């Protein structure tokens, strides 16, 4: 390979990673209870009404960067459900992560395959690269995709030892591509089409076999050297068949019982989950079936032993609360409900939002240099007289915990999903903000409750998404 | 600090107030014409006698044209002012300073709000272009934060406190029931209010001010000229205004049991008027009961009782019309209704009637030992508000 020379900086691999599973779960049996058919056993993960692939990507990326010393020099965002077309979605993630403007941010858009594609490309690229994958999977009510799909995100910081300790090095990778129409969706369509299943199965089997063998060859190992294989894709029967033909010791839990298939994010989410349980020296393969096959073969390094996830996938899978099927349908715009008789919110001003970028996207306040008093939003003039004009330091608060001082439930105000739960929270180390709570049971909020900040889509107006931060119960 | 005030320099010589209600058949123009005409008639002057006008409206029109066009004012200055829910009082404050300065001999302050043409319930102001990070919360929800905070600070049972503020609504409805200009003319027992569904925190719809259209107006002259027009003018003893820093929202020391802007405005007004003990000096007060907890906290912020005791005084009946310290004898925002730009002047209208003994036999308060009245009018939310306080009296000195 002509680019093999880029590895002179040391082995290239995963420096840090994070998986994100949204808080809400739909019990699949709730579907048939309402519709008379559909659904199944177990649950699926559900992004809240104030989440989209961009916000989930932010949450995964924050988890990925927290254990890392390295700074990405590029940010690649892949999703099959982009919040915007035309406009780059990665720039909002870039802003929320407060990356330097010299760090490029690109979308790998549209296809489910783009997530694993971005990851494999980053593993064969130059410079520390943050790959963020996210997806929201669904379909028409009672359909298989509605029940089997899931929402989630995963992020990986890819680089060499020069950038930071590599916890999993790339041993080899391969791709097999073929044009055939198995699954398709036009922009804006609520559901994905699928050709007769048997046809796709005949395509995927040989493609997976081809890529698998090539990747093993590149890695210089045999299938029996692989400790665990993550196998996923957009064709469930083909995935089952490929699982049977790999010849590996163990196939990873696909999280289907609780989370569902998170599409573009799924190979990353499953890989993050396996890395969190892996021992140094173990070999992990990732096989993704989508319009062909993509294979990665990684080996956990000694550095993995010292690596601690900010929040594990397993912990997120174990947490969560049930959302009713009716609410799920409403959140996904499958049913429209009567809005409150209040004016809808107005779109944020692009120029005002741009001026406030650090505050709005990065949740950066200001702190008086003399008083140390935190100002949210940042202010030029302090509420304390001892601070001079503009004598303020930036105060990044997104990762600072807080405690509920008091709260209220607002049943009058406009919301996509009323009621609004609102709390006055005091941040650890000083500072206060009245802030909306999310991922919360209104009846369970209490004074003294610990909360953490989360990046959300507050609302949409005139086709513009209004992103800002809310607080959620600490995880 | 140099808030000198204009004690006894300016007098109100006439006032008018429309009925406050859902005026489906009257527009902003009609309401302004009705209130202004009532004020002209009350003072016995014509519109051409008035040298300058201050129009308060939060969102029913922009510029002085909102008044000069419907009244066909010829060659007169009209200033439109806006200061949240204290807009009407702000108009009076500016008009008073204008005549006190000698720039004009006679000025009108008029406030109006045509709320009910929006098609939505409640108060809804169109926001200026914004960055999308402002909190999304109703005023009711912000003020609902007072109840648990007050209960915790003073060790009051939350259920009991909920009943206390319902008693405030009950009182104001009782007062409104006697007032022909009030929006709501029915009594409403506190027990029934407590049974209602909560809309924000523990507050029900009946803990919120009435949403109404209306207009009110006052005509002011220098005190020395007052008796040319009026046998029993009402003298302005103090006019105070505080616009807050918003620091309460971000200051961990703020505990939602007090409104510092109101306390500061009250203290300034007492200084201007030379009042040491408001409870013994004031015969009445009209205060900004936008939500029932607001009125409770204001009793302490304005110095009508000690901190932590307002809830007991409410239960003791202190603030009833026939109590020791009558509050919101006209029904307040709760029962009289709250057309934002008009409310401040409506409060002064009640003082105009009560302090001159013209409220009518069934509503008139006792003036035998005290004859000063206070108007408190705020705008905004706990932590970030503007606050107005005036003091008025029927005698000089």
CATH of the domain at A102: 3.40.47.10
CA–CA dist A1, A174 (Å, integer): 12
CA–CA dist B23, B183 (Å, integer): 10
**How many angstroms away from the CA of A50 is the closest CA of chain B?**
14
User: Please, which pLDDT band fits residue A10 given cuts at 50, 70 and 90?
Assistant: low
Grouping H, G, I as helix, E, B as strand and the rest as coil, residue A44 is: strand
Nearest Cα residue in chain A from B256:
A406
CA–CA dist A229, A250 (Å, integer): 6
- Measured in degrees and rounded to the nearest 5, phi and psi for residue B31 equal -65, -40
Q: Give the strand pairing for A168-177 and A183-184.
A: unpaired
User: Please, which pLDDT band fits residue A5 given cuts at 50, 70 and 90?
Assistant: very low
Grouping H, G, I as helix, E, B as strand and the rest as coil, residue B50 is: coil
DSSP state, A50? T
CA–CA dist A96, A90 (Å, integer): 10
Domain boundary among A300, A331, A362: A331
Claim to verify: residue A196 and residue A277 sit in the same structural domain: yes
Query: Which ipTM value was assigned to this complex?
Result: 0.92
- Measured in degrees and rounded to the nearest 5, phi and psi for residue B262 equal -75, -40
Domain boundary among A331, A366, A393: A331
Cα-only R_g, chain B: 20
Can you say whether the dihedral through the CA atoms of A432, A379, B386, B271 is positive or negative?
Answer: positive
Residue A222 confidence (pLDDT) above 90: yes
User: Which residues are CB-neighbours of A140 under 8 A, at least 6 positions away?
Assistant: A146, A190, A191, A334
Domains along chain B with CATH numbers:
10-118+213-231 (3.40.47.10), 139-207+235-393 (3.40.47.10)
Residues of B in contact with A341 (CB under 8 A): 120-121
DSSP state, A399? T
Q: Give the strand pairing for B384-393 and B372-381.
A: antiparallel
Can you say whether the dihedral through the CA atoms of A186, A187, A191, A192 is positive or negative?
Answer: positive
Tokens of A72: 């990405």
**pTM attached to this predicted model:** 0.94
As beta bridge partners, residue B80 has: B55
Q: Which of B124, B131, B140 is the best mutation test for A, with the most CBs of A within 10 A?
A: B131
CA–CA dist B295, B168 (Å, integer): 8
User: Please, which pLDDT band fits residue A339 given cuts at 50, 70 and 90?
Assistant: confident
Claim to verify: residue A301 and residue A221 sit in the same structural domain: yes
Q: Closest to B137 (Cβ–Cβ): which among A352, A422, A431?
A: A422
Q: Is residue A80 assigned to a domain?
A: yes
**How many angstroms away from the CA of A368 is the closest CA of chain B?**
13
Claim to verify: residue A326 and residue A383 sit in the same structural domain: no
Claim to verify: residue A213 and residue A85 sit in the same structural domain: yes
Claim to verify: residue A304 and residue A411 sit in the same structural domain: no
Tokens of A69: 């010393």
Residues of B in contact with A413 (CB under 8 A): 136-138, 141
Element (H, E) at A15: strand A12-20
- Measured in degrees and rounded to the nearest 5, phi and psi for residue A208 equal -65, -40
CA quadruple B330, B95, B355, B277: dihedral, nearest 10: 100
Cβ within 8 Å, pair A424-B145: yes
Residues of B with catalytic annotation? 85, 338
Q: Give the strand pairing for B52-56 and B10-17.
A: unpaired
Claim to verify: residue A92 and residue A140 sit in the same structural domain: yes
User: Please, which pLDDT band fits residue A7 given cuts at 50, 70 and 90?
Assistant: very low
Domain boundary among A331, A359, A385: A331
Q: Give the strand pairing for A24-27 and A321-322.
A: parallel
- What is residue A2's predicted lDDT score, i.e. its pLDDT? 35
Claim to verify: residue A382 and residue A418 sit in the same structural domain: yes
User: Which residues are CB-neighbours of A179 under 8 A, at least 6 positions away?
Assistant: A291
User: Please, which pLDDT band fits residue A63 given cuts at 50, 70 and 90?
Assistant: very high
- What is residue A8's predicted lDDT score, i.e. its pLDDT? 45
Taking CA atoms, A271 is separated from A171, A226, A229, in Å, by 15, 14, 9
As beta bridge partners, residue A152 has: A135
- What is residue B279's predicted lDDT score, i.e. its pLDDT? 97
Residue spans of alpha helices (H) in A236-283: 236-245, 266-275
Grouping H, G, I as helix, E, B as strand and the rest as coil, residue B87 is: helix
Nearest Cα residue in chain B from A383:
B247
Q: Is residue A93 assigned to a domain?
A: yes
Residues of A in contact with B150 (CB under 8 A): none
- What is residue A4's predicted lDDT score, i.e. its pLDDT? 38
- What is residue A379's predicted lDDT score, i.e. its pLDDT? 97
Element (H, E) at A407: strand A402-410
Q: Is residue A338 assigned to a domain?
A: no
Grouping H, G, I as helix, E, B as strand and the rest as coil, residue B274 is: coil
- What is residue B136's predicted lDDT score, i.e. its pLDDT? 85
Other C-beta atoms closer than 10 Å to the C-beta of B126 total 8
- Into how many domains does chain A fold? 2
How many CB pairs below 8 Å do chains A and B form together? 120
The answer to whether A144 touches A152, Cβ cutoff 8 Å, is no
CA quadruple B250, B252, B256, B258: dihedral, nearest 10: -100
Closest CA to A72 of A62, A87, A59: A62
Claim to verify: residue A313 and residue A435 sit in the same structural domain: no
CA–CA dist B117, B105 (Å, integer): 36
Q: Is residue A6 assigned to a domain?
A: no
Q: Tell me, yes or no, if B387 comes closer than 8 A to chain A by beta carbon.
A: no
**How many angstroms away from the CA of A274 is the closest CA of chain B?**
38
The answer to whether B162 touches B207, Cβ cutoff 8 Å, is no
Q: Which residue numbers in chain B have pLDDT < 50?
A: none
Residues of A in contact with B140 (CB under 8 A): 410, 412
Claim to verify: residue A100 and residue A29 sit in the same structural domain: yes
Residues of B in contact with A422 (CB under 8 A): 135, 137, 141
Number of helices (H), then strands (E), in chain A:
12, 22
As beta bridge partners, residue B367 has: none
The parent domain of residue A417 ranges over 350-473
Q: Tell me, yes or no, if B134 comes closer than 8 A to chain A by beta carbon.
A: no
Q: Which of A373, A403, A434, A457 is the best mutation test for B, with the most CBs of B within 10 A?
A: A434
In the predicted model, what is the mean pLDDT of residues A187-209?
95
Cβ within 8 Å, pair A374-B250: yes
Q: Is residue A343 assigned to a domain?
A: no
CA–CA dist B206, B331 (Å, integer): 13
Q: Tell me, yes or no, if B133 comes closer than 8 A to chain A by beta carbon.
A: yes
Cβ within 8 Å, pair B135-A435: yes
Residues of B in contact with A382 (CB under 8 A): none
In the predicted model, what is the mean pLDDT of residues A16-32?
98
Claim to verify: residue A146 and residue A17 sit in the same structural domain: yes
Residue spans of alpha helices (H) in chain B: 28-43, 65-71, 87-100, 139-144, 146-154, 158-177, 190-195, 226-229, 260-273, 278-281, 292-301, 310-316, 332-336, 340-354
**How many angstroms away from the CA of B122 is the closest CA of chain A?**
8
Nearest Cα residue in chain A from B151:
A406
Residue A1 confidence (pLDDT) above 80: no
Tokens of B203: 């507050």
Tokens of B125: 């102001």
- List % helix, strand, coil for chain A (3-state, nearest 5): 25, 30, 40
Cβ within 8 Å, pair B120-A343: yes
- What is residue B1's predicted lDDT score, i.e. its pLDDT? 55
Claim to verify: residue A318 and residue A404 sit in the same structural domain: no
Claim to verify: residue A282 and residue A357 sit in the same structural domain: no
């Amino acid at each position: 390979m002509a680019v093999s020379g880029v590895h002179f900086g040391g082995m290239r691999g995963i420096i840090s990673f994070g998986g994100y599973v949204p808080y809400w779960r739909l019990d699949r049996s709730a579907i048939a209870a309402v519709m008379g058919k559909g659904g199944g056993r177990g649950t699926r993960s559900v992004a809240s009404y104030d989440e989209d692939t961009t916000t989930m990507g932010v949450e995964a990326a924050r988890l990925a960067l927290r254990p890392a010393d390295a700074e990405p020099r590029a940010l690649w965002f892949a999703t099959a459900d982009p919040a915007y077309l035309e406009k780059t979605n990665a720039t909002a993630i870039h802003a929320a992560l407060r990356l330097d403007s010299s760090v490029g941010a690109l979308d790998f858009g549209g296809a489910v395959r783009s997530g694993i594609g971005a990851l494999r490309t980053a593993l064969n690229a130059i410079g520390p690269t943050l790959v963020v994958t996210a997806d929201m999977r669904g379909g028409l009510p009672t359909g298989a995709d509605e029940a089997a799909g899931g929402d989630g995100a995963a992020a990986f910081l890819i680089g060499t030892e020069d950038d930071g300790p590599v916890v999993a090095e790339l041993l080899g990778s391969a791709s097999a591509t073929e044009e055939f129409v198995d699954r398709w969706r036009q922009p804006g369509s609520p559901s994905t089409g699928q050709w007769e299943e048997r046809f796709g199965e005949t395509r995927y089997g040989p493609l997976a076999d081809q890529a698998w063998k090539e990747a093993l060859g590149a890695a210089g190992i045999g299938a029996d050297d692989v400790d665990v294989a993550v196998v996923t894709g957009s064709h469930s029967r083909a995935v089952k068949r490929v699982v049977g033909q790999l010849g590996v010791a163990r196939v990873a839990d696909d999280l289907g019982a609780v989370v569902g298939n998170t599409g573009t994010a799924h190979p990353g989410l499953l890989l993050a989950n396996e890395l969190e349980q892996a021992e140094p020296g173990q070999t992990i393969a990732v096989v993704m079936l989508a319009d062909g096959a993509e294979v990665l073969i990684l080996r956990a390094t000694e550095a993995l032993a010292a690596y601690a996830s900010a929040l594990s996938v397993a912990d997120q899978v174990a947490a969560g609360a049930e959302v009713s099927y009716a609410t799920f349908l409403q959140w996904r715009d499958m049913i429209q409900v009567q809005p409150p008789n209040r004016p809808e919110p107005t779109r944020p001003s692009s120029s005002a939002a741009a001026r406030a970028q650090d505050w709005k996207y990065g949740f950066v306040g200001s702190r008086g240099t003399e008083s140390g008093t935190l100002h949210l939003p940042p202010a030029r003039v302090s509420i304390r007289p001892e601070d001079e004009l503009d004598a303020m330091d930036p105060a990044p608060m997104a990762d600072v915990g807080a405690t509920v001082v008091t709260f209220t439930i607002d049943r009058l105000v406009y919301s996509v999903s009323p009621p609004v739960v609102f709390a006055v929270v005091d941040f650890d180390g000083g500072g206060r903000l009245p802030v909306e709570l999310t991922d919360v049971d209104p009846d369970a909020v209490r004074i003294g409750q610990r909360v953490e900040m989360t990046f959300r889509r507050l609302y949409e107006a005139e086709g513009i998404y209004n992103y800002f931060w809310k607080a959620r119960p600490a995880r | 600090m140099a808030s000198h005030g204009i004690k006894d320099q300016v007098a109100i010589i006439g006032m008018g107030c429309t009925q406050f209600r859902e005026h489906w058949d009257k527009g902003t123009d009609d309401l302004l014409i009705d209130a202004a005409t009532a004020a002209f008639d009350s003072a016995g002057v014509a519109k051409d006698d008035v040298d300058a006008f201050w129009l308060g409206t939060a969102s029913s029109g922009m510029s002085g044209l909102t008044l000069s066009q419907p009244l066909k004012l010829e060659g007169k200055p009209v200033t439109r002012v806006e200061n949240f829910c204290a807009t009407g009082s702000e108009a009076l404050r500016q008009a008073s300073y204008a005549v006190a300065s000698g720039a004009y001999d006679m000025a009108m302050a008029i406030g109006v709000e045509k709320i009910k043409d929006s098609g939505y319930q409640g108060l809804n102001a169109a926001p200026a272009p914004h960055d999308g990070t402002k909190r999304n919360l109703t005023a009711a929800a912000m003020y609902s934060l007072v109840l648990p905070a007050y209960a915790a600070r003073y060790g009051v049972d939350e259920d009991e406190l909920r009943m206390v503020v319902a008693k405030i609504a009950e009182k104001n409805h009782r007062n409104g029931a006697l007032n022909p200009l009030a929006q709501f003319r029915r009594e409403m027992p506190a027990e029934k209010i407590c049974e209602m569904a909560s809309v924000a925190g523990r507050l029900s719809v009946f803990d919120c001010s009435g949403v109404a259209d209306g207009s009110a107006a006052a005509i002011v002259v220098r005190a020395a000229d007052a008796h040319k027009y009026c046998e029993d003018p009402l003298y302005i003893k103090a006019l105070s205004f505080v616009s807050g820093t918003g620091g309460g929202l971000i200051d961990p020391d703020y505990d939602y049991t007090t409104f510092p802007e109101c306390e500061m405005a009250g203290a300034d007004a007492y200084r201007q008027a030379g009042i040491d003990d408001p409870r013994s000096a004031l015969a009445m007060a009209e205060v900004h009961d936008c939500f029932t907890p607001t009125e409770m906290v204001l009793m302490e912020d304005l110095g009508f009782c000690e901190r932590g005791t307002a809830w007991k005084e409410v239960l003791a009946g202190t603030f009833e019309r026939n109590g020791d310290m009558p509050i919101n004898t006209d029904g307040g925002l709760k029962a009289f209704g709250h057309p934002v730009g008009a409310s401040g002047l409506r409060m002064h209208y009640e003082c105009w009637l009560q302090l001159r003994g013209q409220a009518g036999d069934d509503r008139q308060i006792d003036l035998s030992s005290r004859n000063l009245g206070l108007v408190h009018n705020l705008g905004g939310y706990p932590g970030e508000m503007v606050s107005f306080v005036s003091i008025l009296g029927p005698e000089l000195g």
